Amino acid sequence: MCVELLTYADLSSRLNVSREAARALARRRRLPRSRSDGGKAVVSVDLSTLRYTPRPRRARRADPVDASVARIEAVKTEVFKAEIARLEDVATAYRVVFERERERADRLAVELTQAAAEATAANAWATRLEDEVTALRSARHPGGGLAGQAASRLGHLAAAIIQSDRAARR
């Protein structure tokens, strides 16, 4: 039984632990302590009976704030991905509606162009018919009887009306 007087620093180097761990060990085991001439605390310890094996050091825990921030970022990323996917679906649906409406507008533009052309043709026929009626009502043409010219004009007028009616039905 060899008792040695060791400072906390010496005890920590012999046991391969930190100075604070050596001090805590001396307190737990209630080892006798005293002051040296230099004013340092010394511990009376019998190293042969002190069967001490230090616990393996635990890995430092990650900062809980950093871990929480990482979890929040992961959740936000997933939420953002889901929101992006939802918005892409909405955009696709709007695109389909847009395409359908554009095709409808194109068809209506073609129909409007055809209607304008038909209206222009009808106005031309109406003008021609009005000229025919005006000619019938007004002057007598030399070189023929009034009745003969009227009958001829009336025949032309009837033919023009029938022709314009057929053109309107197309």
List 46's β-bridge partners, or say none.
Answer: 3
Name residue, tokens 């209206």: 119
Specify whether the CB–CB gap between 69 and 26 falls below 8 A: no
Residue 140 has pLDDT above 70, yes or no: no
Distance (Å) of CA 32 to CA 8, 20, 49, 50, 70:
12, 17, 15, 13, 49
State the pLDDT at residue 144: 52
Q: Are 11 and 43 in contact (CB under 8 A)?
A: yes
Place of tokens 């038909």: 118
pLDDT tens readout for residues 110-128:
999 999 999 999 999 888 8
Radius of gyration for the chain, computed over Cα atoms and rounded to the nearest angstrom:
56
pLDDT tens string 33-80: 888 888 888 988 887 777 776 677 676 666 777 788 888 888 889 999
Residue position matching structure tokens 């704030």: 65
Specify the pTM: 0.38
pLDDT digits 0-9 by tens, 144-160: 555 666 667 777 788 88
Query: Which stretches within the chain are classed as H helix?
Result: 8-15, 19-28, 64-137, 146-169
Residue indicated by tokens 């992006």? 84
- The 10 Å CB-count burial string (b at 16+, else e) for 68-100 is eeeeeeeeeeeeeeeeeeeeeeeeeeeeeeeee
